[in-house]
Chain A
Amino acid sequence: MAGALTKYSFINAKLRARISQILPDEVFGQLAQSASVDAALALLRDTPFAPLEEVYNSTGDLRLAEIELLKSEIELYRNIHRYLHESSRRLVDVLLSQFEIDNLKNAIRIYFDRKVRGHVDESAAHYILYEPILRSIPMDIIVNARSFDEIAGVCQGTPYKAIIEKYGAVVESEGSLFRLEVAFDQLYYADLIDAINKLDRVDREVAIRLIGVEIDLQNISWIIRFKKFYDLPLDAVVAALIPGGFHLNRATIDELYQAQNVTSVLQKFVGGAHPGLSALLASQASDSTSRLMLIRRILEEIQRHEVQRILAGYPFTIGIILAYFILKADELKRIRMILNAKQLGRPLERIENML
């Protein structure tokens, strides 16, 4: 069995060098202040994001530039995968499957909009990744499918087939994709936790801390959607959530979903573990959606804190890889967010708030 040093010394050095290349906060400040998408992209010219400008200049299409960003993110995972010890590769494979699932969700959404909602948005089909990510799934057929059976058929040999078969009819009868999407997310996180459980003890503990917060974040996103668009009863919400979260338990969700005076609940939620976050609690949230948004911010802060803790701690664990992925995903998310905000002409203050 390979030791921690053998497994992680090279990748640790490599990723630390790469982490130093992640855009600093000042650049995001400058991007937020830029007057247009063109100006923002010009600022990224001397960074690894230079190809975005090229795509935007030649097409005027920001979504195509975003697809480039997505491709580069996928390539990043593949690249790291190459340098990993076999025992850690499965985890990265599962992490990579999130892109496949998202892509599949997007393709099914096009079919669903056309077939179930009778709404044709031809342009959406252009922003699907047709090249295989992990498994060879013919996205063309899914986009052009005539039924869920056809979609399930082309997903033969993948874990997605069973989900599509199970929820296809429900989606059509309810006129909503959310059960299918929740099932996909649950599959992803179940695989992820399974991969984490196969790691050795030290790696498992580190991974569960980071992924636990991510599961919390995902659950919060779902809860916000449930509350805002579906107004589901609490039991249905809890049933749909992904198990394995780190901070959110049934009691907290219950209180947050329904409580009117949220400050005390939040204090309990953040607990004594993250006193630095008390500043965030000062902003009193009035309605339940704002409360959940506030929790989301708190969880993001906790995730940042965990990442910093890992970077400052013992270096030869899976933590460095997960920390890098989280930092990189955050960087890409911020770039996407700023560019879209510029495209939509959002005011600087709002962009800075979102950052």
Chain B
Amino acid sequence: MILTTAMTQLFAVVLRRDKERVTETLLREGVMQFLSTSELDIEPRHNQSGAAPDASLAELSDMRKRIEGILHTVGTIPSAPQETDLQNRAPVNLAKEAERLDRIDGERESIRERQRSLQQEILKLEDLRRQVNLYGVDLGKLQAPARQSMLAMQTGRLPASNAKRFEESLKGLPALHMALAQQDGMVHYLLLSMKRDQEPIERILSSVGWTKVEMSQEVLSARKNLSGDLTAKLQALTEEQKKLQDRVTDLIRQEEPHLKDLWVRLRIQELCAKIQASFQSSSRTVIFAGWLASSMKERLSAKIAEACEGRCYLEWHDADSDETIASEVPVQFNNPKVLAPFQMLVSNFGIPQYGTIDPTPFVMPIYLIMFGLMFADAGQGLVLTLIGALSAYLTRNNQAKRGTYHLSWLIAWCGLSAIVFGVLFGSYFGKALFEPLWFDFHGIVAGHPETGSVIRDVYDILSITIYFGITVIVLGLLFNWFNLIRTRRWVELVFDKGGILGGWIYGGGVYIASYMVDHGYKEFPSGNTVFLLVGLPALLLLIKEPYHHFAHGKAHAEKAGNPIFLVLTFLMEWIVELLEIFSGYLSNTLSFMRVAGLGIAHVCLMISFFTLAGMTSGVFSVLILIIGNILVIGLEGLSAAIQALRLNYYEFFTKFFHGTGKLYTPISLDSEP
């Protein structure tokens, strides 16, 4: 758990005829991160090549994305293939399926086209309606539009045989026509159009044999609700539009089962192609290599041997062996699920290098202690816990919201920490409902500490956080030494700022500071002690630059000509290094005072809200306390979380954690597309 998972490299040779079965096994097991063919470092012979799968990876990937695009329009996200899908897999006929997808796209496009023309109809009628609304033409009473209106209204008749042509011709224009009566083979119409379209309207009317006729009031009164007709027509078109919209959804829904199945088959084929793209093939054999967790070695050996009935050659190399191909070993975190939210914090900073310490198990207590000290309230902590747990419950099955899920758990953990520290300090929604188990934080900040308590004032609180900071920094230094020993970087172990000499100076500084505090800031340790604790390691640091110069002489060749300049450079670099060590460690340690600062601010805010509530009574008082608590939970919770993260990243991680590792990403059935 403290170190990342031990990795092993597999170098395998199998017969070409077993290629498909081995590929299937490798995908099913899903534990191999393959080395690319270029990394294999094998001189290709004339008959040796990267294995070309039947369908190209790009073709498969394009079609899969196309299906995803179609399914996304109805809100469906296909789920990763299962093992049974792999067992029952059948090759996809890409040409046939592409035709099917083209058909779906074509059908959808033709519906969209219909929608577009329908929308034009709607927009034209809306144009008319807007004019009606603008100029207040009362169509219900069939009054002619006002002069300033852009509408033109006329009545007339035309031969019944031309009625259809007349209606068709008007389709391209914003116009409303209404058949009022039919008499002697002539249809009587009321026509409402835009004045701007006078010319085309007149052309249409003359082509269909329109004769202007003043309608009698009786004829008009039979169909006088023109406004209602306009609205009804618009409503009908809108409903038809809605139906078309539903037809697009229905079209995709109808195809959804097939598309989902196709997506799964394509995904499997794509993953197999991806695995096979890492194969180096000759006419009879296939070679591949990759990384996997050492614990999976036996199982994968057996599975590969089973897949090719023993016709294989497998070579295993531990990550630290000189026999491995390619230098960078991928990193797999090795933490229990409960640590997932804290692993998220670590991986957000970077991936540890292989073989070095994974700080996740330490981040959990350190982060939670910091948060608890800054946000110590059992009631408010309970609220955070409930919010976090609820959010985690709601996002538990959503793979797309994995980050939110982990963040929810982080909030819940922070809430639990606040509860623990709230009980220790006796704070419940800012009120001291029960006796504190440790000390009365509120009392100290408010100026009335408990009698007999070890912690008596804010300076004591500050010193708690300083000691906590020293512990964190020392832990970081120890981890750094451990990493340097494991990676055999001996010079850095001794001379690095976070190495043994740096740590020695820091330890000495801490001792001297404690000694002074214990002696009321009036006494300094003896000269010999100071020399031993700080002077000696500082002098030893003087060796660092000359050592680098002589060990890596070429890099400093330009300075070699002038020995005085060289000595001065050494001295200058030594002084700068010492200044960096002294100021760096001092600021790193004092930085932890922010924990106390935020804790005190939290208490002060609650005291302020209680004072405000005390100025009123009844409902207002309760309201102020509720709003106060909400504000404190929101704002203080956020700043405590951010400050705890900052302290972890900058005061703890920088001592030992480089974050330059490469995450282990095997090809498996649930690999992210």
Contact = CB atoms under 8 A, between A and B. Distances in A.
Real complex partners, A and B?
Answer: yes
Interface of A: 33-36, 38-43, 45, 57-61, 64, 114, 120, 122-123, 125-126, 130, 140-141, 143-145
A38 B127 contact: no
Given A35-B69, A123-B120, A140-B130, A60 B200 contact: no
A40 to B, nearest CB: 8
Main secondary structure on A side of the interface with B: helix
Contacts of B69: 34-36, 38-40, 42-43
A60 B111 contact: yes
A33 to B, nearest CB: 7
26 contacts: A35-B101, A38-B108, A38-B248, A39-B66, A39-B68, A39-B69, A39-B72, A42-B72, A45-B72, A58-B241, A58-B245, A59-B115, A60-B112, A60-B115, A60-B119, A61-B115, A122-B120, A122-B124, A122-B197, A123-B120, A126-B120, A126-B123, A126-B126, A140-B134, A144-B150, A144-B194
B85 interface: no
A35 B112 contact: no
Contacts of A45: 72
A67 to B, nearest CB: 11
Nearest to B68: A39
Contact of B73 (A38, A64, A126): A38
Contact of B65 (A33, A61, A114, A123): A33
Contacts of A43: 69, 72
Contacts of B150: 140-141, 144
Nearest to B67: A35
B255 interface: no
A130 B130 CA distance: 10
A120 B195 contact: no
Nearest to A34: B69
A39 B116 contact: no
Interface in B463-498: none
Nearest to B123: A126
Interface size, B (range): 35 or more
Interface in B593-649: none
B174 A140 contact: no
A58 B109 CA distance: 14
Contacts of B172: 122
Interface in B114-172: 114-116, 118-120, 123-124, 126-127, 130-131, 134, 150, 172
A17 to B, nearest CB: 14
A120 B115 contact: no
A22 to B, nearest CB: 20
B344 interface: no
Contact of B241 (A33, A59, A123): A59
B244 interface: yes
A14 B373 CA distance: 31
B99 to A, nearest CB: 14
Contacts of B126: 126
Contacts of A64: 119
Nearest to A125: B127
Given A61-B115, A122-B173, A126-B127, A35 B242 contact: no
A26 to B, nearest CB: 14
B119 A61 contact: yes
B73 A39 contact: yes
Contacts of A38: 69-70, 73, 108, 112, 248
Contacts of B245: 57-58
B435 interface: no
B554 interface: no
B207 to A, nearest CB: 16
B328 interface: no
Contacts of B196: 114, 143-145
A159 B351 CA distance: 61
A354 to B, nearest CB: 20
B113 interface: yes
B39 interface: no
Contact of A59 (B66, B101, B109, B119): B119
A120 B68 CA distance: 41
Residue of B72, B118, B172, B174 with most partner-chain A CB within 10 A:
B72
Contacts of B114: 60
B178 to A, nearest CB: 20
